[in-house]
């Protein structure tokens, strides 16, 4: 088994017209090529390459995909926001099982926020919003640390974006279990006292609304460099953790969630489960 990752932060390469610029295309192409070479060295029989929010929202998405295919021979499949949410929910359901009852899941990526709720493997509601931590940081914060006025304006913007999706999700009733997936939620939980990753994946980790509010008041006044010194915050994510925390707090508040558990499985595991079970396209 091998686990390899490369941090791309593609939303930071979106130009004023919403296109991924040349540097971003090169960075993505190089990473896809490196992943392909690694898979070949490991004797991988099949690749399941897919792209999410940053490519999905780019106005030159087709151009990007064609360039990558010419250079690497790999054709990325763009997951829709709803499919990204569904596949993540599938992984969460498999982790907790049927006895968990209704689950509401929140996932904060670099480009988008996915929200789902359901009692089966297929959620009743699957929503994707352009409220990713890197995207909001790129679009809203031009001073480090961000000005308090800007933080408040961003909070109001997030609240407004969540009104209708949260209403739709609440209509299905309160979840028995609220869950958070993604590196952003793991980092926030760690900063509020959850066990470190070295403790293993089977340790229960949680994030509470009061703890998150206190954390935001603390980290929003710090520079990215200072945040990177906090235990559990990686240097390449320290600049976007404030925006991620604001999204998490707003989503929890909109859905009346006071506590959520951190699930170690997310989109990647959902893709694997779907492929194993159906052997079909990810959207099937």
Asked if 236 and 9 touch (Cβ cutoff 8 Å), the reply is yes
Confidence (pTM): 0.93
Please list the pLDDT of the chain residue by residue as tens digits (284 residues).
Answer: 677 888 888 999 999 999 999 999 999 999 999 999 999 999 988 888 999 999 999 999 999 999 999 999 999 999 999 999 999 999 999 999 999 999 999 999 999 999 999 999 999 999 999 999 999 999 999 999 999 999 999 999 999 999 999 999 999 999 999 999 999 999 999 999 999 999 999 999 999 999 999 999 999 999 999 999 999 998 888 999 999 999 999 999 999 999 999 999 999 999 999 988 876 555 54
Dump pLDDT digits (tens) for 54-83: 999 999 999 999 999 999 999 999 999 999
As its CATH architecture, domain 10-78 has 2-Layer Sandwich (3.30)
How high is the pLDDT of residue 278? Answer: 74
Rounded distance between C-alpha atoms, residue 199 and residue 219, angstroms: 25
Asked if 259 and 208 touch (Cβ cutoff 8 Å), the reply is yes
Q: How far is CA 178 from the centre of its chain?
A: 16
Count of residues making up the chain: 284
How high is the pLDDT of residue 5? Answer: 84
How high is the pLDDT of residue 283? Answer: 52
Asked if 279 and 225 touch (Cβ cutoff 8 Å), the reply is no
How high is the pLDDT of residue 2? Answer: 74
Asked if 172 and 117 touch (Cβ cutoff 8 Å), the reply is yes
Neighbours of 70 (CB within 10 A): 9
Dump pLDDT digits (tens) for 189-221: 999 999 999 999 999 999 999 999 999 999 999
How high is the pLDDT of residue 19? Answer: 96
∠ CA 86-119-158 to the nearest 5 degrees? 55
Q: Where are the domains of the chain?
A: 10-78, 82-269
CATH class of 82-269: alpha beta
Asked if 188 and 218 touch (Cβ cutoff 8 Å), the reply is no
Strands (E), 130-215: 177-181, 206-208
List phi, psi (to 5°) of 42.
Answer: -85, 0
The sign of the torsion formed by the CA atoms of 268, 136, 254, 202 equals positive
């Amino acid at each position: 088994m091998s686990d390899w990752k490369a941090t791309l932060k593609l939303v930071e390469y979106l130009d004023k017209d919403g296109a991924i610029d040349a540097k971003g295309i090169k960075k993505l192409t190089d990473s896809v090529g490196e992943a392909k070479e690694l898979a070949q060295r490991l004797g991988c029989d099949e690749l399941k390459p897919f792209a999410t929010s940053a490519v999905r929202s780019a106005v030159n998405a087709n151009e990007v995909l064609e360039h990558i295919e010419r250079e690497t021979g790999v054709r990325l499949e763009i997951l829709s926001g709803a499919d990204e949410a569904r596949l993540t929910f599938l992984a969460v359901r498999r982790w907790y099982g049927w006895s968990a009852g209704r689950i509401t899941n929140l996932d904060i990526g670099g480009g988008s926020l996915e929200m789902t709720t359901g009692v089966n493997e297929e959620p009743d509601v699957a929503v994707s919003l352009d409220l990713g931590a890197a995207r909001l940081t790129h679009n809203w914060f031009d001073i480090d640390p961000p000005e308090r006025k800007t933080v408040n304006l961003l909070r109001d913007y997030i609240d407004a974006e969540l009104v209708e999706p949260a209403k739709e999700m609440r209509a299905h009733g309160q979840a028995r279990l609220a869950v958070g997936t993604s590196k952003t939620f793991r980092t926030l939980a760690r900063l509020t006292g959850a066990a470190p990753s070295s403790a293993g994946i089977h340790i229960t980790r949680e994030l509470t609304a009061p703890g998150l509010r206190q954390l935001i008041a603390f980290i929003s006044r710090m520079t990215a460099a200072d945040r990177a010194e906090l235990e559990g915050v990686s240097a390449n994510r320290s600049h976007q953790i404030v925006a991620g925390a604001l999204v998490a707090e707003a989503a929890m508040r909109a859905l009346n969630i006071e506590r959520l558990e951190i699930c170690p499985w997310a989109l990647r595991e959902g893709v694997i489960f779907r492929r194993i079970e159906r052997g079909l396209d990810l959207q099937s």
